[in-house]
Amino acid sequence: MRFPAAMDDLTTERLLELGDLPILDDDALLDRATTLIECGVARRMWLLLLDDERRQLPLLPQIEGAPVSPDAETGATLSALLTGVAEVATHIAVVLERPGSARATPDDLAWADAIVRAAGRAPGVQLLGVLLAHGHGVDALW
């Protein structure tokens, strides 16, 4: 499997460099996700972790193996995950990655809804957005 060019250049040093540039609005968030992920090549979820000044931390966790659509346990699992994230980050953005069309599917929208709801139940974390990395780029879902 070939990763996008952006993945080839992703080092701790690069993350630290990007971390010097705060993500202050939706356009900056979309630009950062596009810089980091470029497009969707596999099914996974990325967590962009930011501090209280909205600077990205030099961590870029990925969650592999998520089902195509969220199931009954997804909400509780996501809430626990986001609550744990609050120990290191005050802001978070989630990028859903999958290959294929730029058009958001019902499953993509169900994931976005599950993430937004889970973030609402996770004390200490502010969700900045949910984005979709698809086969043609990155777009905002929420």
Phi, psi for residue 19 in degrees, rounded to 5: -65, -20
Query: Could you tell me if 70 and 110 are in contact, meaning their C-beta atoms sit under 8 angstroms apart?
Result: yes
Q: Give domain limits for the chain.
A: 5-140
pLDDT score at 17: 74
pLDDT at 1 over 80: no
Summarised one tens digit per residue, pLDDT across range 84-139 is 999 999 999 999 999 999 999 999 999 999 999 999 999 988 999 999 999 999 99
For residues 53-80, average pLDDT: 92
The predicted-structure confidence for 16-57, as pLDDT tens digits, reads as follows 677 778 999 999 999 999 999 999 999 999 999 999 999 999
pTM of the predicted protein model: 0.88
What pLDDT is stored for residue 104 in this prediction? Answer: 97
Q: pLDDT value at position 2? A: 35
Pairing of strands 44-50, 137-140: unpaired
| Cα dihedral 98, 125, 113, 34 in deg (nearest 10) | -30
Residue with the bigger pLDDT between 91 and 75: it is 91
Kindly report the CATH class assigned to 5-140. Answer: alpha beta
pLDDT at res. 31: 96
